[in-house]
């Protein structure tokens, strides 16, 4: 049976109020008494349930989530999941604030991180951009004891506490394996549409994709990456140009979120039918799968990522371990035949 605060009080010969003051590091306890209580804690092997203690006190966790404001269906889904989490705030004892920043803009993100740090929340979550200034801003926040979680796109090398997202190299490798299998040994050119190579998730997906094609499908040549900035019109123009310049194009890997533009460009050229692998199951990619415009979609669960970020931030704020298996975000593969 686990020891309780009553056991500590009996063993040390003090009141429950004194035990509470020692556990919560409050003043008003003589050094000799404090030492006696701490010795009792060690002897009995008492482990404090911080989460239960915070629940009893009615502690509320103020969290700041920094998300891109781009016209991006997946990010809209991330916003929606965060609003669902905010609706649960009363039961989960959270107070969540959403701050939007322009996508792929390190300067704006750095300024927003500084502002968030000044409000001293219990934790911060953000979609990271690969930039030394962003890394320094995260490190400064962590130095003040505020845990930081990166969402969707990671920033390793920083002092972030956790990454809530898929393994993007594995996602890219999966896309490479799929496009190679769909093309069944054919040789030709493959186009790649990214949002921005400033974000690590897009670069890692490209790295994984390139590695598989180089090793297993050497007849497939990857063309220079086109950036769509996750903007539907910019992406449409990029893909239209790609197909105009390469009428024999065998495949397209859309590793970002410019899928509305991609789909519009594909519809405009029914004479060209490349194999297409995209990311994120949205209303648009679901319809394109059903119509045969897209062959496979790799998906990450935005709701799982938001819930994971909140759980991790609460655990870090309480100083308790994170359950790694619970926070692992999986890669789902959808074809037109297995749409949920």
pLDDT in tens, 147-183: 999 999 999 999 999 999 999 999 999 999 999 999 9
Say how many residues make up the chain: 340
Can you tell me the mean pLDDT for 207-222? 98
Assess whether 14 and 81 both reside in one domain.
no
CA 96 to CA 62: how far, in whole Å?
Answer: 6
Q: Residue 16 falls within a domain, yes or no?
A: yes
pTM above 0.85, yes or no: no
Measure the N-to-C terminal CA separation of the chain; round to a whole number of Å.
46
Q: Are 158 and 183 in contact (CB under 8 A)?
A: no
Q: Residue 337 falls within a domain, yes or no?
A: no
C-alpha distances in Å from residue 176, one per residue of 10, 113, 136, 151, 237: 65, 35, 34, 24, 24
CA 330 to CA 304: how far, in whole Å?
Answer: 9
Assess whether 295 and 306 both reside in one domain.
no
CA 262 to CA 294: how far, in whole Å?
Answer: 10
Q: Are 72 and 230 in contact (CB under 8 A)?
A: yes
- Helix intervals (H) in 119-167: 132-143
Assess whether 88 and 157 both reside in one domain.
yes
C-alpha distances in Å from residue 242, one per residue of 180, 228, 230, 233, 249: 20, 12, 16, 14, 8
Q: Are 220 and 179 in contact (CB under 8 A)?
A: yes
Assess whether 249 and 316 both reside in one domain.
no
Q: Are 108 and 79 in contact (CB under 8 A)?
A: no
DSSP 23: H
CA 239 to CA 231: how far, in whole Å?
Answer: 12
CA 83 to CA 79: how far, in whole Å?
Answer: 6
Is residue 53 pLDDT above 70, yes or no? no
Domain count, the chain: 3
CB atoms within 10 A of CB 71: 16
Domain enclosing residue 30, as ranges: 5-48
Assess whether 292 and 238 both reside in one domain.
yes
CB atoms within 10 A of CB 178: 21
Q: Which two tokens stand for residue 214?
A: 């180089």
Assess whether 160 and 172 both reside in one domain.
no
How high does pLDDT run on average in the chain?
93
Q: How many CA atoms, within 13 angstroms, populate the side-chain half-sphere of residue 97?
A: 16
Assess whether 274 and 307 both reside in one domain.
no
Q: Which two tokens stand for residue 48?
A: 């404090």
Question: Domain holding 193: CATH number?
Answer: 3.40.50.2300
pLDDT digits (tens, 9 = 90+) for 244-267: 999 999 999 999 988 999 999 999
User: Judging by DSSP bridges, how do beta strands 148-151 and 220-222 pair with one another?
Assistant: unpaired
Assess whether 88 and 17 both reside in one domain.
no
CA angle 282, 172, 339 (to 5 degrees): 30
Q: Residue 280 falls within a domain, yes or no?
A: yes
Higher pLDDT residue, 27 or 230? 230
Assess whether 68 and 79 both reside in one domain.
yes
Q: Residue 338 falls within a domain, yes or no?
A: no
Q: Which long-range contacts (CB under 8 A, 24 or more apart) does 281-285 make?
A: 281/332, 281/334, 281/339, 282/73, 282/74, 282/77, 283/73, 284/73, 284/259, 284/260, 285/73, 285/259
Q: Residue 286 falls within a domain, yes or no?
A: yes
CA 63 to CA 82: how far, in whole Å?
Answer: 11
Q: Residue 191 falls within a domain, yes or no?
A: yes
Q: Residue 340 falls within a domain, yes or no?
A: no
Is residue 100 pLDDT above 70, yes or no? yes
pLDDT digits (tens, 9 = 90+) for 114-155: 999 999 999 999 999 999 999 999 999 999 999 999 999 999
Give 332's contacts (C-beta < 8 A, 6+ positions apart): 281, 298, 299, 300, 301
What integer pLDDT is reported at residue 56 of this predicted model? 53
Assess whether 173 and 291 both reside in one domain.
yes
Q: Which two tokens stand for residue 50?
A: 């911080």
Assess whether 246 and 314 both reside in one domain.
no
Q: Residue 335 falls within a domain, yes or no?
A: no
């Amino acid at each position: 049976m686990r020891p309780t605060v009553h056991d500590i009080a009996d063993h040390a010969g003090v009141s429950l109020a004194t035990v509470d003051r020692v556990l919560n590091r409050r003043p008003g306890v003589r050094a000799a008494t404090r030492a006696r209580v701490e010795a009792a804690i060690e002897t009995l092997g008492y482990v404090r349930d911080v989460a239960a203690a915070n629940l009893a006190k009615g502690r509320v966790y103020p969290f700041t989530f920094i998300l891109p404001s781009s016209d991006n269906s997946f990010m809209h889904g991330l916003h929606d999941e965060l609003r669902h989490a905010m609706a649960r705030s009363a039961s989960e004892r959270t107070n969540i604030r959403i701050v939007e920043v322009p996508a792929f803009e390190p300067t704006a993100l750095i300024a927003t991180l500084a502002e968030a740090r000044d409000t001293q929340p219990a934790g911060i979550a953000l979609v990271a951009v690969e930039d030394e200034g962003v890394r320094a801003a995260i490190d400064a926040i962590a130095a003040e004891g505020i845990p930081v979680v990166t969402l969707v796109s990671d920033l390793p090398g920083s002092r972030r506490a956790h990454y809530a997202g898929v393994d993007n190299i594995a996602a890219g490798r999966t896309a490479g394996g799929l496009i190679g299998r769909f093309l069944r040994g054919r040789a030709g050119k493959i186009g790649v549409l990214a949002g921005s190579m400033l974000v690590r998730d897009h670069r890692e997906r490209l790295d994984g994709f390139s590695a598989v094609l180089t090793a297993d499908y050497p007849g497939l040549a990857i063309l220079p990456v086109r950036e769509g900035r996750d903007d539907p019109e910019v992406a449409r123009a990029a893909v239209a140009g790609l197909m105009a310049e390469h009428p024999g194009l065998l495949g397209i890997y859309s590793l970002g979120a410019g899928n509305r533009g991609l789909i519009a460009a594909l519809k405009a050229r029914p004479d060209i039918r490349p194999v297409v692998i995209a990311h994120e199951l949205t209303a648009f990619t679901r319809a394109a799968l059903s119509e045969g415009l897209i062959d496979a979609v790799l998906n990450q669960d935005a709701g799982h990522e938001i819930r994971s970020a909140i759980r991790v931030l609460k655990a870090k704020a309480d100083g308790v371990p994170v359950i790694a298996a619970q926070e692992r975000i999986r890669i789902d593969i959808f074809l037109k035949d297995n749409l949920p």
